[in-house]
Amino acid sequence: MRFSTKSFGCAYNNAETDALRQLLAAAGFRESSPATAGVLIYNTCSVKQNTQDKILSEIARCRKPLVVTGCLAQANPELVHAANPRAIILPIESHAQLPQAIRAAVNNKPFKARTAKRLAGATVNGGIARIRIAQGCAGSCTYCLTRLARGRIQSVPLTVLRKEVEDAVAR
């Protein structure tokens, strides 16, 4: 099956989207343009209202099977469902279940996520490795939902980071 991803927001979302692409490639999915994809995957942001409005508008216009993840989907799933009732919401902690979420979206079936293991942290693209060293937020900005969506900041253990760096260098 062909898929296309779109990442909204920060560098962390971009790295997370790279990890999702890697997961799907390993599961036999093929990346393509949005026009030729059988399913779209949006990794969303909720930092600013105008960004949130843009994302929700795009979700509402989507006529293809759609899986939505990221901060907006995590913090306000009801807004995503109001914009597109057929969209499958994939919680951040359940990213490893993306292939199952895609199948549910394509078959217009409900999807119940389970908490799963963390996706591999290092993605390598063109000699550049992205390694996510932490998740969450230390701030409490009134305009931002990142802390609500991702929780308090948590560092990835040093032993895990070291292994991810070694694996990335080996690739």
pLDDT digits (tens, 9 = 90+) for 63-81: 999 999 998 998 899 999 9
Which pLDDT score is estimated for 141? 74
Measured between alpha carbons, how far is 102 from 19 in angstroms, rounded to an integer?
Answer: 16
Q: Which two tokens stand for residue 169?
A: 């260098």
Residues of the chain with CATH 3.40.50.12160: 2-106
Which pLDDT score is estimated for 114? 77
Return the closest-CA partner of residue 69 out of 33, 132, 111. Answer: 111
Instruction: Judge whether 50 and 28 are in contact, CB under 8 Å.
Output: no
Which of 3.40.50.300, 3.40.50.261, 3.40.50.720, 3.40.50.12160 would CATH assign to domain 2-106?
3.40.50.12160
- Which stretches in the chain have pLDDT values below 50? none
Q: Is the Cα dihedral 14, 19, 22, 27 positive or negative?
A: negative
Which pLDDT score is estimated for 98? 96
Which pLDDT score is estimated for 161? 81
Q: Which two tokens stand for residue 120?
A: 């591999």
